[in-house]
Chain A
Amino acid sequence: MTTKKRWLTSLSLWLAVPMVVLIVSVNLEDGLSSTRGYWMTATTKASEAVVFTGMVAALGATWEASRLRRADLLAITARSRLLVVAEALAPTVVVALLGTLVSYAMLATLALGAPGGPAWHVIGVNLAALAGITGWGLFLGFLLPPALSLTICLAGTYIWYFVTAAHYQFPLWARFLSGGFLGDPGVWGVPDPRALLAALVSASGLLVAGLCALLLRDRGHALVAGVLMVLLAVGSGCLIVRPLDYHPVVARTGIACDRIIEDEITVCLWPELEPDREALVPEIVRQHQAFTARGIDLPSTVSAAQEEPEGSLWLPMFPRADARSTVAAGFVHVLMPQELPESCPNEKFPQHTMDAVLAWLRTTAETEGHEEYRASISARSARALDAVLELPPEAQGEWYAINRPVLGTCSPDPDTLDPRHLAPEADS
């Protein structure tokens, strides 16, 4: 078959345009708004395109395997079966890789010029996931009649990529098996190796199932071996990712720290933040002093890493952002509770206290838009905030310390929301 004919009769060629349009649209809508200046985020976000490239790869592989099966061509060929299938799959592979390349090229613009380079292990898992779903397509195409195989491929792949990630009946970790959702880590995080491993294990199972269908001459043996491989691999993948929640990101390690002698503060920055060091460090020191002056006990080491050095204050900061606003937002973020109850059935939630504390933190840190936020909270919260701001700095910190513990709980607003008991005249 000529190369031109091979392309013209390939289903993938006709799916290529919608695939590229979808990848570009999703990246414009979502991907390009991710963290800038960090290769890991750019790589993991770009790898989400596998939900589209994978659909094309699976359908293309099913189509080609069906064509070979229908005319029983593998039964007569004197060439290696792998070679015949590779020749038939060439357009599908090229189209899927083209989609992958488009996604990586688009999102590379987020990180161009940043230290390091693309996360090759994430790209490796991405390509393995693509190979796996191609194997799944071959498995169906070789073992089922054409119409049935294409229908099952379309439905199965759609469920694999989209329904598992969107439907509440599937556990949150199920989406990681496809390799399409490896998180959107900030500069302080990296994809959880368990999510990567689970995607790799699942992909291997799907690929081996495809190879069974291709290489085993007995269709019954191929079916049983393939199904067992898929069950074994996806089952193992499930066991690996079961402990994870919806965000498969773990803390990044290996941060470098510098002590700022005159202020007795140690600041630890990632290489991605180094270009902004001159703006970030004075702002970190200023914010640190502002909060400690209000009596809030903060560690003397401020780190952009989540878990190191031990006992440090984690400050989430974004590269290529305005230093003043990212540092201010970082302080507000860490001084608020990190976990909130999902809901409080039959119980109260301390919403007024929550709003008042957050507004106070934002006002103190002078975050962008703190005045607008002040205008948006309830009258009770606003009254409390105004009263707090009239207190001396140390009393403000005391008010924060008293009210902070109730924020992550299901409980009514405490009486301590009203700061009058902390006013100097109250003491007298």
Chain B
Amino acid sequence: MKLSTEEIIYSYGWFSSPVFDGLSLDIPNECTVLLGPNGAGKSTLMSLLASAAPPRRGRVRVGSWRSDRRRDLAPLRRAVGWMPQDIVPVTGLTVREQVAYHGWLKGMSRAEAWQASFEALRQTNLVDLADRSSGKLSGGQTRRVGLAQTIVHRPSVLLLDEPTAGLDPAQRSSFRGVLSSLSVGDTVLVSTHQTSDLSDLFDSVVVLSEGRSRFTGSAEAFLAHATDSSESVERRAEAAYTAVLKEAP
């Protein structure tokens, strides 16, 4: 599903300088990684793409829906699954209840959401924790709950904001395994500031820095920026990333 931004202007407060000042971006219709240093505006872009935050000007397009048309907002949000960086449990709910509640919020009936929550928990290896209070989980488990609640309504577009941030290496590896086994979303955008997250999973790359797009293209084209001829994808990605940021005006 086509995902793009058109001339987006966004700032955090009325008097602060804009994070994005006319950002136009086409996200490829495949599995894309959004790279950028801390403070580049990745999380803000994710929340704008999810229509969780309204831009001051400009619009987000998801398929034929536009974020600046009121009647489009509901179908647009149904089409998108957004996993923010911080997953906050809903006080008093178990893992399955929280996931099912997100399904209901996305427009499913209670019964549908309850059914779908089991499948989402299964996909994220959380079935054993289904009845545990969602506020009493480890960081990695909470991330997986975040993922489960993001995919419960089977969105066409999946936005994952720094999904492995704060996880230890084992948890990151496990989480990547879960991600790779997911069978939802024809457009997946994963933001990260770590080039080590770049793997065979991704078809294309977007690099964002200081609120501007520095690179949009295929993973091969991105890696071609690397002067390092190492065979390690991680090292080539690191070199390519540094080169792209250096090329930026």
Cβ of A167 < 8 Å from any Cβ of B?
A: no
Q: Closest residue of chain B to A71, judged by CB?
A: B88
Whether A77 contacts B89 in the complex (CB less than 8 A), given A1-B100, A72-B84, comes out as no
Cβ of B169 < 8 Å from any Cβ of A?
A: no
Give Cα A77–Cα B74 distance, bound, in whole angstroms.
Answer: 8
Chain A positions 283 through 304: 1 when the CB is less than 8 Å from some CB of chain B, otherwise 0: 0000000000000000000000
Cβ of B91 < 8 Å from any Cβ of A?
A: yes
Whether A1 contacts B74 in the complex (CB less than 8 A), given A67-B91, A75-B47, A84-B105, comes out as no
Q: Which residues of B contact A113 (CB under 8 A)?
A: none
Give Cα A5–Cα B50 distance, bound, in whole angstroms.
Answer: 28
Whether A9 contacts B91 in the complex (CB less than 8 A), given A73-B105, A75-B47, A75-B52, comes out as yes
What is the count of residue pairs linking A and B with beta-carbon distances less than 8 angstroms? 60
Give Cα A80–Cα B104 distance, bound, in whole angstroms.
Answer: 12
Give Cα A71–Cα B102 distance, bound, in whole angstroms.
Answer: 11
Give Cα A8–Cα B90 distance, bound, in whole angstroms.
Answer: 13
Give Cα A2–Cα B90 distance, bound, in whole angstroms.
Answer: 14
Cβ of A383 < 8 Å from any Cβ of B?
A: no
Q: Are B105 and A77 in contact (CB under 8 A)?
A: yes
Chain B positions 94 through 109: 1 when the CB is less than 8 Å from some CB of chain A, otherwise 0: 0001001110111100
Q: Are A8 and B107 in contact (CB under 8 A)?
A: no
Q: Are A79 and B97 in contact (CB under 8 A)?
A: no
Q: Are B88 and A70 in contact (CB under 8 A)?
A: yes
Cβ of A78 < 8 Å from any Cβ of B?
A: yes
Q: Are A1 and B101 in contact (CB under 8 A)?
A: yes
Q: Closest residue of chain B to A9, judged by CB?
A: B92
Cβ of A155 < 8 Å from any Cβ of B?
A: no
Q: Are B13 and A220 in contact (CB under 8 A)?
A: yes
Q: Which residues of B contact A73 (CB under 8 A)?
A: 90, 105
Q: Closest residue of chain A to B54, judged by CB?
A: A217
19 further A-B contacts with Cβ under 8 Å, apart from A5-B97, A67-B91, A78-B107, are: A1-B93, A8-B92, A9-B93, A70-B88, A72-B52, A72-B84, A75-B52, A76-B50, A76-B82, A76-B105, A76-B106, A77-B77, A77-B105, A78-B73, A79-B74, A79-B104, A79-B106, A80-B74, A84-B105
12 chain-A/chain-B pairs, Cβ below 8 angstroms: A2-B97, A5-B97, A8-B92, A9-B93, A72-B52, A76-B102, A78-B74, A78-B107, A80-B74, A217-B54, A218-B54, A220-B13
Which 9 residue pairs spanning A and B have beta carbons closest together?
A9-B92, A75-B52, A78-B77, A77-B105, A78-B78, A71-B88, A78-B107, A78-B74, A217-B54
